[in-house]
Amino acid sequence: MGETAIHTARPGAAVAGHARAGWKRRIAAWLIACCALVFAMVVLGGVTRLTRSGLSIVEWQPIVGALPPLSSTDWQELFLKYQLTPEYQKVNPGMSLEGFKGIFWLEYFHRLLGRLTGVVFFAPLLYFLWRRAFTPPLALKLGGIFLLGALQGAMGWYMVQSGLVDDPRVSHYRLTAHLALAFAIYAAMLWLALDLLTPAPARAEEIGRLGRLRCLAWAVTGLVIAMVVTGGLVAGIRAGYAYNTFPLMNGRWVPPEIFLIEPWYLNFVNNMATVQFDHRLVAWLLAVAVPWLWLEAGRAGLTGRARLLTHLLLAALALQIALGIATLLLVVPVALAAAHQAGALVVFTAALAVNHFLRSADSRPHQGFG
């Protein structure tokens, strides 16, 4: 009877396991869809910044603002509010209503995409909670991501407010924080999705054999984060419009004006020469570190998706550096600059995925074919 009971219990356990696996796949697919929306937000946000469209909507109305202007009266009212801003008076004096519509729609769709991302995250979150699909730790993590998303919306408006003043430029500190927070939200969702889709972490002894490789992969990820932050500062103070030569900066490896500002530490955030030099320096470090990681992965006999991702990381970085150089030499054309911003997120995605798969059983060193 005991043996029979064991055999009859196994199918039920298998069904329960499949059910859990089914929920995992659905939750992971939802998180990846949210990642795709954040990716689009980052790219559209870059276009909005590059076209100076971000200050075209001078109010933050999370609910009512979801509706676009529906009549000529609505358009005239919005345009009048814009005409009262320093952005119009100092940057776009004499702009026509048609010109205003061009910058308005970019900012409107950027904000609309933000609202859509919030709904796509929040509505399924409630559904999965209702179905009790989450473990308590996962529910807490997702709740934290939701709070970060709300903070991101507030940060976006806080950034716009900084440009509705006498100097019609948004604070580069706030812009960089807004960009970094978007990357943080993206990373959190992607990591959780990979947790749900990949095998359990490898045993301690297997992870130990990959210790050096894992440290190197995290160092690469840290450099990618530094690249994003310095890139945000470059964008914020429009440093890409200066020193449009490569590999030298106007004939110098190190421009003499990198410590022109006093106190000295402000050069790292306010000086065009220093900010761009730092961004280039991080790119050079990545140009060494990523091929090194790729070579070490091959020497370690890495197989499966982890090895494939090291190939992707190397290719993504090569493309990103090429985009960065082209953007600089051509003095920041919108299409190239937007592609460069998207490329940063692709490199970041590949670096995170490499780190994640290095901790999973799928990254075990190659033991032979068959």
User: Mean pLDDT across the stretch 188-197?
Assistant: 94
Domain assignment present for residue 47? The answer is: yes
Q: Which of 164-168, 214-218, 314-318 has the highest mean pLDDT?
A: 314-318
Measured distance CA(92)–CA(99) in Å, rounded: 10
If one counts the domains in the chain, the total is 2
SS3 261: coil
User: Is the entire prediction scored with pTM above 0.75?
Assistant: yes
Domain assignment present for residue 138? The answer is: yes
Give the residue from 118, 222, 135, 114 showing the smallest Cα distance to 178. Answer: 114
Domain assignment present for residue 193? The answer is: yes
**In this predicted model, what pLDDT tens digit does every residue of 77-130 receive, in sequence order?**
999 999 999 989 988 898 999 999 999 999 999 999 999 999 999 999 999 999
Domain assignment present for residue 344? The answer is: yes
The residue behind tokens 């990820």 is 221
Which has the higher per-residue pLDDT, 358 or 276?
276
CB 56 within 8 A of CB 103: yes
Q: What is the pLDDT of residue 206?
A: 57
> Of 65-79, 180-194, 219-233, which range is least confident?
65-79
Which has the higher per-residue pLDDT, 147 or 60?
147
Measured distance CA(330)–CA(325) in Å, rounded: 9
Q: What is the pLDDT of residue 23?
A: 86
Domain assignment present for residue 5? The answer is: no
**In this predicted model, what pLDDT tens digit does every residue of 230-280 receive, in sequence order?**
999 999 999 999 999 999 999 999 999 999 999 999 999 999 999 999 999
Q: Tell me: do 181 and 64 sit in the same domain.
A: yes
225 is in which domain, residue-wise? 201-370
Q: Tell me: do 185 and 171 sit in the same domain.
A: yes
Measured distance CA(115)–CA(366) in Å, rounded: 46
- Asked whether the predicted pLDDT for residue 366 surpasses 50, the reply is no
Q: What is the pLDDT of residue 19?
A: 43
Last residue within a domain, chosen from 173, 197, 221: 197
Q: Tell me: do 157 and 33 sit in the same domain.
A: yes
User: What is the full DSSP assignment across 77-114?
Assistant: HHHHHHHTSHIIIIISTT--HHHHHHHHHHHHHHHHHH
Q: What residues contact residue 131 under an 8 Å CB cut-off, 6+ apart?
A: 23
- Asked whether the predicted pLDDT for residue 220 surpasses 50, the reply is yes
DSSP 172: H
Q: What is the pLDDT of residue 2?
A: 44
Last residue within a domain, chosen from 197, 226, 246: 197
Q: What is the pLDDT of residue 205?
A: 54
Domain assignment present for residue 237? The answer is: yes
* Distance linking the first and last C-alpha atoms of the chain: 41
Q: What residues contact residue 342 under an 8 Å CB cut-off, 6+ apart?
A: 39, 42, 43, 46
Measured distance CA(140)–CA(125) in Å, rounded: 11
Domain assignment present for residue 4? The answer is: no
Q: CB pairs under 8 A, 24+ apart, for 18-25?
A: 23/128, 23/131, 23/133, 24/196, 24/197, 25/196, 25/197
Measured distance CA(370)–CA(368) in Å, rounded: 7
Last residue within a domain, chosen from 176, 197, 218: 197
